[in-house]
Structure formats: structure tokens, C-alpha cells
């Protein structure tokens, strides 16, 4: 594994994270926003794996924990989206203004 490929992996990771942030800022569908959050978590996982090629196996252990947290977050977040959908009949985040004012 040449250092060049590690640089490519880090570039891909940065680009994936930025795409995820852009998606969160641009979309209004709560589930798509959630998918973009998962995209950001995966971008971080990729850079952790790439850095583990330079620093040792601990980076891969950390990816394991990130995956567990992502699973918990997906379960709770989707449950919240289902509860909100039951209330508003919609998943558009512009309409969730109960806590806004």
C-alpha cells in the first residue's frame, strides 16, 4: 500500500463528508437528511481506516465503535421520524415547527 493511495482515501473521505453536509443543508426530507448523516459517519470511518494504515490497528477498533453508535442512532432516529409522521402526516423538516418559536 503506497502512501499515494492513503492520500486518495483521505481525499475521498473529505469529499464524502462534504457531500453529506451539503445534503443535510439542501434537502428537506427528514429521511434523506438522515441518510446524509450516515454518509458523514462513513466518511469518518474511511479516514480512520486510512490512518490506521499509518498509526496502528487502534483506528479499526474505533471504526467498530462508530458503527455501533450509528446503529443505535439509526434505530432511535427512525423511531422519532415515525412518531413525527404519525403526528404531522409528513416528513418535511420545514413543517416541524413545534419547538421553533
Partner 1 sequence: MTEFLFFVFSAAALLSAVFVVTSRNPVASVMFLIVTLFSLAGLFVLLEAHFLAVVQVIVYAGAIMVLFLFVVMLLNLGHAKFADVRGPLARMLGGAFGLGLAAFTAWTLLGGSDQLTNARLAGPDPIKAALDARGAIGAVAVPLFRTYLVPFEVTSLLLLVAIVGAVVLARKEAP
Residue 51 to residue 85: CA distance in whole angstroms: 40
Could you tell me if 47 and 12 are in contact, meaning their C-beta atoms sit under 8 angstroms apart?
A: no
Task: Indicate the residue among 51 and 96 with the shorter CB distance to partner 1.
Answer: 51
Task: State in angstroms the smallest separation of the CB of 56 from partner 1.
Answer: 4
Task: State in angstroms the smallest separation of the CB of 84 from partner 1.
Answer: 10
**Judged by CB under 8 A, does residue 96 bind partner 1?**
no
Q: Which of residues 49-88 bind partner 1 (CB under 8 A)?
A: 49-58, 60-61, 63-65, 67-76, 78-83, 85
92, β-bridge pairs = 29
Unique residue bearing C-alpha cell 481525499: 11
Amino acid at each position: 500500500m503506497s502512501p499515494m493511495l492513503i492520500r486518495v482515501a483521505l481525499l475521498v473521505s473529505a469529499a464524502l463528508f462534504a457531500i453529506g453536509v451539503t445534503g443535510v443543508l439542501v434537502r428537506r426530507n427528514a429521511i434523506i437528511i438522515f441518510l446524509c448523516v450516515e454518509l458523514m459517519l462513513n466518511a469518518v470511518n474511511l479516514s480512520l481506516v486510512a490512518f490506521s494504515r499509518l498509526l496502528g490497528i487502534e483506528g479499526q477498533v474505533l471504526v467498530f465503535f462508530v458503527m455501533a453508535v450509528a446503529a443505535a442512532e439509526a434505530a432511535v432516529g427512525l423511531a422519532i421520524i415515525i412518531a413525527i409522521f404519525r403526528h404531522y402526516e409528513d416528513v418535511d423538516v420545514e413543517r416541524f415547527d413545534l419547538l421553533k418559536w
